[in-house]
Structure 1
């Protein structure tokens, strides 16, 4: 079973940078904090030791998670995509048919999604609704308040 997860080059690099930061700096610092707390004596009542061990658990868990995500990543360069349809990596400009408000989203992987910067997951309801549409088509998107209708005005791959 193929469990690969689509990810942009930028998203993949961000995960690799976080992993490098954790392995090179955070992990050694936690080990140092544990050693220092251990030197203070009785570990049964040592809050510093407990906090350092908790942080170590978090750091090691995150390293394991990042290694898994990087290993499962199917890195896709949107600039190499040649299609007139909306697919993974597309930067899509939409007009809300009711309000004439323009929005732009880039369709990215689950770990890259950040609505504040206009990046939506391909597996989100909006991302799934947009995939396969072309410029000048209307897209019906189910939202909690009902159905929103958008017109696709531009699709870019860069």
Structure 2
């Protein structure tokens, strides 16, 4: 699996670091810890930029994205959210879900792979439908 550069805002980094700190304090379930460890690894390798400088085609927190899944020949539309806001039926996926951690910081055109039981899942970021920073919504 190729690991491309990823970009996140300092604002997202602070909030996600706080989420990791809470987890370390309370030591959640083993399955949750695997996802948090993955998130921590992604944050460690990310390029940090100011919210006003993030390119508009990069997936940030609260971005709404259209992904294509070639293996299922379907498009998926998700909003990347914090765990408390996750709602699968509404298309809101948690940053702690494998696909959530996988797409954070990537940009339109990138193909992302991550392991799931029995296979490697692969999606392409087709479009960022909404990005808070590009819309001037720096508080989200």
Shorter-chain TM-score bucket reads 0.5 to 0.7
Q: Take 2:101 and 2:86, find their aligned partners in 1: how far apart are those partners?
A: 13
Gaps of 5+ in 2: 1-14, 20-51, 133-140
Higher Cα Rg, which structure = 1
> Which of 85, 98, 112 does residue 125 from structure 1 map onto?
98
Q: Does 1:142 align with 2:135?
A: no
Secondary structure of the corresponding residue to residue 65 of structure 2:
strand
Please list the CA deviations of residues 44-67 of structure 1 after superposition, one character each: whole Å capped at 9, or x if unmatched: xxxxxxxxxxxxxxxxxxxxxxxx
- Cα distance, 1:81 vs structure 2: 8.5
Q: Which has the higher contact order (CA 8 A, sep 6+)?
A: 2
C-alpha separation in 1, matches of 2:90 and 2:115: 22
Deviation per CA, 1:58-88, whole angstroms, max 9, x where unpaired? xxxxxxxxxxxxxxxxxxxxxx885321121
Task: Determine helix, strand or coil for the equivalent of 2:76.
Answer: strand
Aligned length: 85
Give the structure 1 partner of residue 74 of structure 2: 101
What is the CA distance between 1:145 and its match in structure 2?
A: 3.4
Moved over 6 A (4+): none
Q: Provide the alpha-carbon RMSD of the alignment.
A: 2.7
Instruction: State the Cα deviation string for residues 20-46 of structure 1 (Å, max 9, x = none).
Output: xxxxxxxxxxxxxxxxxxxxxxxxxxx
More helix by share: 1
Distance 1:145 1:115 in 2: 22
- Shift, 1:141, TM fit: 2.6
- TM-score computed with the length of structure 1 as normaliser: 0.47
- The 3-state SS of whatever aligns with 2:120 is strand
Q: Please give the secondary structure, in 2, of the residue aligned with 1:147.
A: strand
